[in-house]
Amino acid sequence: MPTSPRLPARVPLHNRPMGILASARAGQRNVLELIPELATRAPMLSGRTGGRWYMVMDPIALKRVLRDRVEDYPKSTVTKLILEQAIGDSLFVAKGAEWLWQRRTAAPVFSHRNVAALAPVMTAAAERASGRVAPSHGRGVDMFAEMVAATFEVISDVTFSGGEGFDRGAVHRAIEGYIANAAKVSVLDMLGVPGWVPRPGRVMGGGAMREMKRIADGAIDRRRREGAQDIPDLLDLLLAGEDPKSGRTMTTSELRDNLLTFIVAGHETTALTLSWALYLCAFAEGVQDAARAEARAVLGGRAATAEDVARLPLTRQIIDETLRLYPPAAFLSRTAMAADELSGVEIRAGDTVVLPIYALHRHHLLWHNPDQFDPSRFADPKAIERFTYLPFGDGPRVCIGANFALQEAVIILATLLARHKFSRIVGKEPKPVMILTLRPEGGVWLKVDAI
């Protein structure tokens, strides 16, 4: 498969030590600027910025943090401070027994059978997205905005399929406002100031989040009264779910926090993956041509379905390589709860352990030409060493919606590539910036043409 000698958009990693104020400014501007260039060449780094921290890129140590000693490395205090206003103590941030019963309850919801049953919603969204960009043939289109619209349609349809009384526009605006205002690292976070001290940005985003929760609570209560849809959606499946060990079921607030987690994560991360994938296809025209030929051979003139996914291996490889270069969750943080040793280094309780997935995926000791776009790396997924590639995490807390996201991404990308050609626009190169997720600052502007 052809590859390009040029390199797609990257984050300029720093080469000098950073103090607390410089780190806080970088965290506000782009979290990935906290990663030193050395992190792409060393197994582990350490430092002190308000407290001791360790940056881990060693796959063996990552396995220990994410799988072997997962209970000793819960999500960091800063992560919880950023997210709790939006998603409470949901599956994403809960720990210990509170996490375990929620995971057992929600896991069947994302079974292969249930995910496949939701595919028609993805196919319909792909069809609508293709129809929206068709009138713009010959012109530039912000494909990030288009992919956000498409994936939000999917997640809202599979979450609250009835839609009555569920103001999707209000929820979408609340999410966007929260990410813009509240989902940034505060200098108070860097200094270790207690969580009860207000962070101005999170105070600003509080009203919209309260309204979003009110809307979701109302939709859940109505569904309890009216019963399940003819074709069960995620809300129906969660309402029917119970912990197989304790028999515990979710309250309205627990349902709401988990559904909002799925809505925030389920559309944002897939929209980003699709946007970056389209940029990379425009960047490497040979790859795009090959993927288009594959999609047209399988689909003809129709939109992709769940049954097509296994017959679109190159499309899937493009998604996998996109998740390597631009992982939505590119910077994870954990707090050590007990003494341990990672890569021969002593870890104390209270230390911050950073998992810079962006650096791991571009590590020069783990990947050949790591900054180059080359989907053929994933031609044999079994050849990828475990814990060198972590777009969805790993271990017991691996992303519960990974299969849902991958199915959706392949369906939408194949449908678009089969019908449209995407080209770069001079002066409109996207800039990778991570706030809560790794976003393309300014959008992904591509020229769209008919085939």
Give the residue numbers marked as catalytic: 269, 392, 399
How far, rounded to the nearest angstrom, does the alpha carbon of residue 448 sit from its chain's CA centroid? 25
Running DSSP on this structure, what letter comes out for residue 303?
P
Distances in Å between the alpha carbon of 145 and those of 142, 149, 179, 296? 6, 6, 15, 25
Give dist(CA 203, CA 378) in Å, integer: 43
Q: Output the CA torsion 131→295→231→221 (10° steps).
A: -60
Contact 304, 295 (CB under 8 A): yes
Encoded tokens for 199: 């962070």
Structure tokens at 261: 């987690």
Please, which residues bridge with residue 346 across strands? 341
Q: What phi and psi, each to the nearest 5 degrees, are found at residue 441?
A: -65, 130
Judged by DSSP in three states, 33 sits in helix
Q: Which of 285, 256, 309 is nearest to 421 (CA)?
A: 285
Amino acid at the residue 68: D
- The verdict on whether residue 281 carries a ligand-binding annotation is no
Question: Which two tokens mark 1?
Answer: 């498969």
**What burial class does residue 196 get, using C-beta atoms within 10 Å of its C-beta: 0-12 exposed, 13-18 middle, 19+ buried?**
exposed
Residues contributing to the annotated binding site for heme: 399
